[in-house]
Structure 1
Amino acid sequence: MKQIKLLNLVLTNFKGIKHFELNASGGNVRIYGDNATGKTTLFDAFVYLLFDKDSQNQKEFGIKTLVAGKVQHKLNHEVEATFLVDEQELTLKKVFSEKWTKKRGSVTADFTGHTTDYYINGVPSKKKEYTDKVASLVDEDIFKLLTSPGYFNEQLHWKKRRDLLLEIAEDVTDQDVINSNAGLSKLADVLSGRSIEDHKKVIAAKRKEINQELDRIPIRIDEINRNLPDVNGLDKAGIESQLTELNNQIEAKQGQISDIRNGSEVNNIRKQISDIDLQIANAKNEHAQQGQQELYGLKARLQEEQSNINILQSKIKSKDQQYQMNKEYIADLTEKMDRWRSYWQEINSREFTHEADCNCPTCGQELPQEQLEQARDKALIQFNADKSNELERYKNKGLEAKANVEKTQAENEKIDFEIQKLKSQIDEKQAQVVKIHSKINESESSVKPIDENPLYQKLVQDRQALEQKIYEMQQSVETSIQIVQSEINELMGRQSALNIDLSKLAQSEQSQKRIIELEQQEKDLAAEFDQLEHELYLAEEFIRTKVNLLEDKINSKFKFARFNLFKENINGGLEEICDTTYNGVPYSSGLNNAARILVGLDIIQTLSDHYGISAPIFIDNAESVTNLPEFESQIITLYVSERDKKLRVEATKEYAKSS
């Protein structure tokens, strides 16, 4: 087992204590003091040194010294402790200081924040190194469980207390629970692979959904009943029979009107009108062919001549482009000829000059006259040859360019001639277009409209006469038709009323069917709810059985403390809890301070054995306890003593065994 003991604890300017040194030397000590003398502050400093919190697990708490209710500034607030960890000494120190900064141009410093310095065995350390060192000793939550008798029951959430107890007792398996209770044999099939907790959640969700649906069904049935139509005295078969008879009567009346409207004489006249319509169409076609044939031919010639003009204009544009390209080519050649002529004249004007070195390059003596003349003659020959070649080259360039200019000029003369010829052709074509336009205008003005055609006029008059005859015949039968139509309207009114009654019967039948469906759904949901209730009972019976097994197993680990892990509610359901009791009295209500400390120490002893760690235990308000059990852990007890106005430390070797 890892043993952690406190050798020494020093407070400087911490929560009003200017300086105090606790020399525990790894043994048990008793600390006496009146109220507000700083007993709890020692435990606060101890926890702060390790975890930046006070003994109540609060991160935010005041550690500065107050004078007349105001903070005393520019003090270092220090806590230093020396531990014996498995026979190895370890010193930890933490210094909390104010930071004062003098701004540029200012003669006074301003408070700008706080700094915390960390030391391990007297060596300055970074915060991470410090926290890692503390963490290597023991986990924060475990340390608090092992050092404060009240932490488990007063600060740890009940679910975490429960989980910790299950961890200590080594939780029983679900199969163990099922095997211990024959009534749970069907539970495995009900769970379908889900955990008890997950299945309870499923049941709760389904029960809520079913309850909501069961609440809605009566409302739906009531709404349907309130909207049911009155069908008293209505007979579906009789209504359908009457509708069939009315439909037959209406159909017969409509046939009667059709017969009146479609008399044989009217049909004959309509046939004559159709024949006349065909003759009118033929007359229009013949008139159009006679008047338009010559006009169509003229328009076709006009289109052809305009197309020819476009072709000729396209040819002119192409030749004009070639003409312009040739002009640019001639201008370029002319410019080059001028430049080459200047080069030829410049070369032709060159004079031979010779300047030779009269001394021998080897010995430096003056060369003979004969050698000098030979060198000059050789240079002259070379000069003349080069000059002749240059003149010949530029002469040939000029002659070649001149020939190309003359050739291109001749080509442009030919192109110009062809362009003029094409323009002449365009003029001729345009003259033809003017003539054709004139002929088209004459032809269009000479064509007579169809309304002036005698045959067309006669056919139209004959058709109008026939239509007038039909109108007169129809007026004579309209009175008969109106009488029959009035009878049809009356029949259709009776038909509409019967259809309304029939729809009422259909609506009522559908509503009754829906009510039956809802009532069956209500029964099915009730049955499903009963099944869920049974499954919930099995789940809670499982929990009850498991908790009984666990409570016996857990309670066997403790000497004084006992634990209830569930309670049974009024409705018979089980609610998971984690309540600590001592001699049947709940820790949270009715248990005195001495019993609370005793229970807390009992829990610490079991947790120390479980985690394999022994740490210093701080017992506040220890004056209420007359006998404390023996512990392997170091115990620091804090007693309220009215006569001790300053903290007094008393070492003790052991505590009396509990009876």
Structure 2
Amino acid sequence: MHAIYKELKVEEFKSHQDLTVNFGEVTEITGDNAKGKSTIPESISWLLYGTDTLGSKLDPTPLTYESEQTLVQLLLSADGKDLLLGRGLKKGKTQYYINEVPSKSGEFNEIVDQLFDKDLFLSLFNPSYFFSMHWEKQRALIMQYVTTPANKEVLKNLPEEQGKHLGTLLKKHSLSDLEKIHKENKSKQDKKYIAAQSRTKTLKEQLDQLPKVTAPLESLKVELRQIAKQVRELEEHYDKAADSNREYTKVQSQIQAIQDQIDMSKERWPLLKNEVIEDTCRTCKRPLDEESVEAVQADKDNRIAEYKANHNELLEKRNVLKAKLAEMEYIDASETLEKIRSIDSEGTPLREAIQAYSQFERLQEQVNEAEKGEKSTLESLNDSIFVLDSIKAFKAKEAELQAEKVQALFTSLSVRLFKQNKGDGEFKPDFEIEMDGKPYSKLSLSEGIRAGLELRDVLSAQSETITPVFVDNAESITSFKQPVGQLIICRVVAGQELKIEGKDA
């Protein structure tokens, strides 16, 4: 966009009742204080945006005379096409005109927005406007025309190991995502590493507390196997003796059981033997006949015969078992059992030593696993630390390269785009314009004008937008470089009425 002002008409705007300005390549506005010099560029910013040249709300209503209608019209050329814009204020109501045709605010604002971005235009028109914005807006306005260094360019300027490792990771994730991933992993691995160190230490302490076994494990096992063999052999003898003794005891128990039966049988014999044969009925007491008496006697004889047969059978069984017992031998195995216990006790210290070996090996394996886990955790932690350091270095180098690109745009000004936090060393966006080592806020009026003109020419070149620029208080500066675009100079001349001269180059 290349904008050229041709003619400005101002009616009842602040101190100007009726004023026409014909612009040249250079337009000089001179006069004493309070003659309305600065009001002329103000009328243009009010026409376009309803503000003064610093973007603040502006009331154009005259104070020194009665006014019916304020009206500002500007004829300008936009890329070679003439456009007449007008803004009026009548009875508190704003009126808009496009090429003298009354228009709605939306239509008017759309035309203006197509011509210029507001912050860009006001920065190009009034060099002081840029510095009135918040630093974030200043930075954004400068940075939108400067490309961020490509990742490859930044990586190439990092130490080789950082650049190579980070370059591989950036193929899969963005820098922001990588930072989130490794910050989370670092936090997790920090805690995990502390826990792993504690576990390794605890296991090593347990290992140190185990009894020391100096004899070789294999010799202990051989010795224990020999003891176990002796014990097994003795146990076989003991088991045989025990089996034999169980049979001996069983026969003894059987003899005793039969003897008990014999004793009981002997107790019944006198009763049976001495049983009296009655010759009268037990119930009615009547004498029995001879045949009945003989039947009773026969029953007794049968019972005696049965008794003797049973008793003799018990005696025979007892005699057979006694003969069997006489052929058997009770083996005293107590000595063998004592030997078993004695020899087995010799294996106790061996078993304890082997168990200690086993416990030692198990603990040693746990220590090895813990150390392996600790090492793995530390590697993961160190990798995240390295990546985060690489990201920090990347951002620092990116900031440096970006600052170099921006700085290359300026001649006498220096620009700070980032500041480094003291705590974590992180580079955070910042913005400060300096001249000769002094921030803009500390510059004199003339230095501020030169700084503003250089900055607006950079913005003009980068945005490919050329607009007129006005320099207020030009009397405070002896000389300055001719800016890009039309120049409007406001200069105080004591005792002089308002004078406007448009000159072509």
Asked whether the two chains share a fold, i.e. TM above 0.5, the reply is: yes
Q: Secondary structure at the match of 2:76?
A: strand
Give the alignment of 1:269-288 within 5 angstroms: none
Determine if the alignment matches structure 1 residue 15 to structure 2 residue 14: yes
User: Residue 84 of structure 2 corresponds to which residue in structure 1?
Assistant: 91
Cα 1:525–1:161 shift into 2, 3 Å: farther
Determine if the alignment matches structure 1 residue 159 to structure 2 residue 136: yes
Give the alignment of 1:235-634 within 5 angstroms: 534-571=386-423, 572-588=425-441, 590-634=442-486
User: Residue 501 of structure 2 corresponds to which residue in structure 1?
Assistant: 650
User: Residue 333 of structure 1 corresponds to which residue in structure 2?
Assistant: none
Structure 1 residue 636: deviation in Å?
0.6
Determine if the alignment matches structure 1 residue 185 to structure 2 residue 178: no
User: How far apart, in 1, do the equivalents of 2:503 and 2:487 lie?
Assistant: 10
Is the CA contact (8 Å cut-off) linking 2:142 and 2:459 kept in structure 1? Answer: no
Query: What is the TM-score normalised by the length of structure 2?
Result: 0.55
Cα 1:528–1:144 shift into 2, 3 Å: farther
Code of the residue aligned with 1:93 in structure 2: it is G
User: How far apart, in 2, do the equivalents of 1:601 and 1:202 lie?
Assistant: 46
**Deviations 1:574-616, CA, capped at 9 Å, x for gaps:** 222122222333223x322222222222222232223332111
User: How far apart, in 2, do the equivalents of 1:120 and 1:188 lie?
Assistant: 55
Code of the residue aligned with 1:643 in structure 2: it is G
User: How far apart, in 1, do the equivalents of 2:145 and 2:188 lie?
Assistant: 39
Query: What is the TM-score normalised by the length of structure 1?
Result: 0.43
Determine if the alignment matches structure 1 residue 65 to structure 2 residue 86: no
Is the CA contact (8 Å cut-off) linking 1:168 and 1:554 kept in structure 2? Answer: no
User: Residue 298 of structure 2 corresponds to which residue in structure 1?
Assistant: none
Structure 1 residue 617: deviation in Å?
0.5
Cα 1:134–1:574 shift into 2, 3 Å: closer
User: Residue 46 of structure 1 corresponds to which residue in structure 2?
Assistant: 44
**Deviations 1:335-371, CA, capped at 9 Å, x for gaps:** xxxxxxxxxxxxxxxxxxxxxxxxxxxxxxxxxxxxx
Q: Among the aligned pairs, what percent are the same residue?
A: 26
Is the CA contact (8 Å cut-off) linking 1:158 and 1:578 kept in structure 2? Answer: yes
Q: Secondary structure at the match of 1:7?
A: strand
Code of the residue aligned with 1:94 in structure 2: it is R
Q: Secondary structure at the match of 1:548?
A: helix
Q: Secondary structure at the match of 2:145?
A: helix
Q: Secondary structure at the match of 2:483?
A: coil
Determine if the alignment matches structure 1 residue 116 to structure 2 residue 94: yes
Is the CA contact (8 Å cut-off) linking 1:48 and 1:54 kept in structure 2? Answer: yes
Structure 1 residue 535: deviation in Å?
4.2
Structure 1 residue 633: deviation in Å?
0.3
User: How far apart, in 2, do the equivalents of 1:608 and 1:9 lie?
Assistant: 23
Is the CA contact (8 Å cut-off) linking 1:146 and 1:604 kept in structure 2? Answer: yes
Q: Secondary structure at the match of 1:169?
A: coil
User: Residue 77 of structure 1 corresponds to which residue in structure 2?
Assistant: 70
Is the CA contact (8 Å cut-off) linking 1:190 and 1:535 kept in structure 2? Answer: no
More helix by share: 1
User: Residue 152 of structure 2 corresponds to which residue in structure 1?
Assistant: 175
Runs of 5+ consecutive residues of structure 2 not aligned to the other structure? 196-374
Question: What number of residue pairs does the alignment pair up?
Answer: 323
Q: Secondary structure at the match of 2:94?
A: strand
User: How far apart, in 1, do the equivalents of 2:34 and 2:55 lie?
Assistant: 20
Is the CA contact (8 Å cut-off) linking 1:11 and 1:79 kept in structure 2? Answer: yes
Cα 1:632–1:56 shift into 2, 3 Å: closer
Structure 1 residue 73: deviation in Å?
6.9
Residue 122 (structure 2) aligned to one of 125, 139, 144? 144
Q: Secondary structure at the match of 1:613?
A: coil
Q: Secondary structure at the match of 1:553?
A: helix
Is the CA contact (8 Å cut-off) linking 1:622 and 1:639 kept in structure 2? Answer: yes
Structure 1 residue 92: deviation in Å?
1.5
Structure 1 residue 569: deviation in Å?
3.3
Q: Secondary structure at the match of 1:631?
A: coil
**Deviations 1:613-656, CA, capped at 9 Å, x for gaps:** 21111222222221121234001122233433x432234455xx
The root-mean-square deviation of aligned C-alpha atoms, in Å, is 3.6
User: How far apart, in 1, do the equivalents of 2:75 and 2:402 lie?
Assistant: 41
Structure 1 residue 76: deviation in Å?
0.7
User: Residue 362 of structure 2 corresponds to which residue in structure 1?
Assistant: none
**Deviations 1:484-534, CA, capped at 9 Å, x for gaps:** xxxxxxxxxxxxxxxxxxxxxxxxxxxxxxxxxxxxxxx999999877665
User: How far apart, in 2, do the equivalents of 1:45 and 1:551 lie?
Assistant: 37
User: Residue 108 of structure 2 corresponds to which residue in structure 1?
Assistant: 130
User: Residue 2 of structure 2 corresponds to which residue in structure 1?
Assistant: 3
Cα 1:193–1:562 shift into 2, 3 Å: farther
User: Residue 477 of structure 1 corresponds to which residue in structure 2?
Assistant: none
Q: Secondary structure at the match of 1:168?
A: coil
Code of the residue aligned with 1:600 in structure 2: it is G
Q: Secondary structure at the match of 1:186?
A: helix
Structure 1 residue 53: deviation in Å?
2.1
Cα 1:9–1:204 shift into 2, 3 Å: farther
Is the CA contact (8 Å cut-off) linking 1:169 and 1:557 kept in structure 2? Answer: no
Structure 1 residue 172: deviation in Å?
1.4
Is the CA contact (8 Å cut-off) linking 2:46 and 2:58 kept in structure 1? Answer: no
Cα 1:176–1:578 shift into 2, 3 Å: same
Code of the residue aligned with 1:66 in structure 2: it is L
